[in-house]
Amino acid sequence: MDADYTDKNPALGALYRAHLKTITARHDRALEQAGAGHAVIYSGNPRLAFLDDYHHPFKPNPHFVAWLPLTELPYSYIVYTPGATPVLVYYQPHDYWHVVPGAPDGYWTNHFDVRIVHSTEDVAAHLPEDREKCIAIGEFDDETLACGIERINPTTAVNILHFSRGVKTEYELAVMRLASGRGVAGHRAAEAAFRDGRAEFDIHRAYCKAVSHTDAELPYRNIVALNQHGAVLHYTDLDREAPGALHSFLIDAGAQVHGYASDITRTYSSGDARFQALVDRMEQQELAIVDKVQAGVDYRALHVEAHRMLADVLVEAELATGDADALVATGVTSAFFPHGLGHLLGIQVHEVGGHQRDETGGIIAPPSGHPFLRLTRVLEKDMVLTIEPGLYVIDMLLEKLRGTQAQSHVNWSAVEWLRPFGGIRIEDNVRVLDGGRENLTRDAFAAAS
């Protein structure tokens, strides 16, 4: 594996100390609000398949990953006490059935009191004796894994940790730039496979090879959609045979480095000039929205503005008639663009805290008529978010417009033309700055060209 993607990367090591200082400060506030003295963060454990003896792929607790770049370390614990060196209870079982974690190694090791255990029964001895002063953070399928701690995921503490995750440290930003570069390598390989006339399954395999991920290591299931499949927002079926006629290709796929994700979408034409012109126009719209990203912007307003901009695209493409106010008010834009403009991005693809008003956990609701918007906060410096407007022919949504005031605004013959192409989505990952933004995705594409 490339040295940039390992936890021995000296550039990341230089940023990690300050990152850890930020993480401990967040936990100090969380513990104070919870009235607790110790935080015990559980990495999680793999789950058995129903009525079988194999495990589903392991997904670590994101709270654990925020501390450490260790995504394959189940049954392990971080014990944090303000003012003390954090303890890592490192589970290294005696097991000849599976590969076990190797010796602790990496830029993070000097910052932890690492204690290796070979059995889950040995964990309790390394936790604080005063369990009533502890909070546990994680998912515990078996209550014995909580080691007698009764306060699990207290709301006062978790709200602080979730809200603060929206703002990234310099270390996290550096890791996410690496994840963007890795994802772009996959997108370039996937486009080449599409141009070669490959099936969805083969395009997916080309992507995974380029990013050096198994399916389980991807941050989310790849959306690799040819032709009308691009109208299925979360299409993951992967046909094994290429279609007889190739019209379009929509790929929504990411990569991860140290548990942090990229989330990138591109749409390509197979040669149809009219569809290519529409893709180009959607890209112009997406970039225009990106140019509005900066600290202090209300993301809800940005989402509504994206609908007004889409109305102009629909009219220009002769898919609809009328002014922006009418197309938004009658639900025409929502039928063509039913999902949210984007979401926070980080350890989780849909990072937590997107609807939180503040650290107390109050909720900011999405705008009326836009229930699927995952980010409703005012943007802050060093947030990382996605901008991903779309335009699709989704028959079940368009049919709801018939018999309503909206029906007369839709050019149904143009809809018939667009249907074989499925849809268009363009998505970039964007860092918020004071008075501007950093486009991680576009920078990665430029560096790869």
- Let me know whether 183 and 281 are in one domain: yes
Shared domain check, 182 and 147: no
DSSP summary character for residue 405 = G
Computed on alpha carbons and rounded to an integer, the radius of gyration of the chain in Å comes to 24
Q: Please indicate, yes or no, whether residues 71 and 106 belong to a single structural domain of this protein.
A: yes
**pLDDT one-digit tens code per residue, 90-124:** 999 999 999 999 999 999 999 999 999 999 999 99
- At 21 the pLDDT is 98
Coil, helix or strand at residue 176: helix
Please say which residue of 143, 164, 185 terminates a domain: 164
Domain count, the chain: 2
Of 164, 190, 222, the one marking the end of a domain is: 164
Question: Quick one: which of 154, 151, 146, 155 has its CA closest to 132?
Answer: 151
Write down the pLDDT at residue 161: 98
332 plus 380 within the same structural domain? yes
Considering the domain architecture, whether residues 328 and 409 belong to the same structural domain is answered as yes
- Answer yes or no: is pLDDT of 268 > 70: yes
Q: Which domain holds residue 406?
A: 170-448
Decide if pLDDT at 212 tops 60: yes
Q: Phi and psi for 340 in degrees, rounded to 5?
A: -75, 160
pTM attached to this predicted model: 0.97
pLDDT attached to residue 8? 85
The predicted structure's pLDDT at residue 165 = 97
Residue type, 268: Y
pLDDT in tens, 364-408: 999 999 999 999 999 999 999 999 999 999 999 999 999 999 999
| pLDDT at residue 150 tops 90 | yes
User: In this structure, are 53 and 150 located in the same domain?
Assistant: yes
- Asked which of 164, 185, 201 is the last residue of a domain, the reply is 164
Residues 246, 344 within the same domain: yes
Q: The domain that contains 410 carries what CATH number?
A: 3.90.230.10
Distances (CA, A) of 113 to 85, 90, 419: 6, 10, 59
Q: What pLDDT, on a 0 to 100 scale, did the predictor assign at position 440?
A: 98
CATH, residue 79: 3.40.350.10
pLDDT above 90 (res 304): yes
Q: DSSP letters along 407-428, please? A: GGGB-HHHHHHHGGG-EEE-BE
d(CA 205, CA 389): 26
pLDDT band at 1 (very low <50, low <70, confident <90, very high): low
What is the share, in percent, of the chain residues with pLDDT greater than 70?
A: 100
pLDDT digits (tens, 9 = 90+) for 328-366: 999 999 999 999 999 999 999 999 999 999 999 999 999
Which tokens sit at 363? 């909720």
Residues 54 and 201 in one domain: no
Enter the tokens of residue 48.
């058995």
Query: What average pLDDT does the chain have?
Result: 97
Considering the domain architecture, whether residues 281 and 390 belong to the same structural domain is answered as yes
Residues 205 and 183 in one domain: yes
Do 73 and 214 lie in one domain? The reply is no
240 and 316 assigned to the same domain = yes
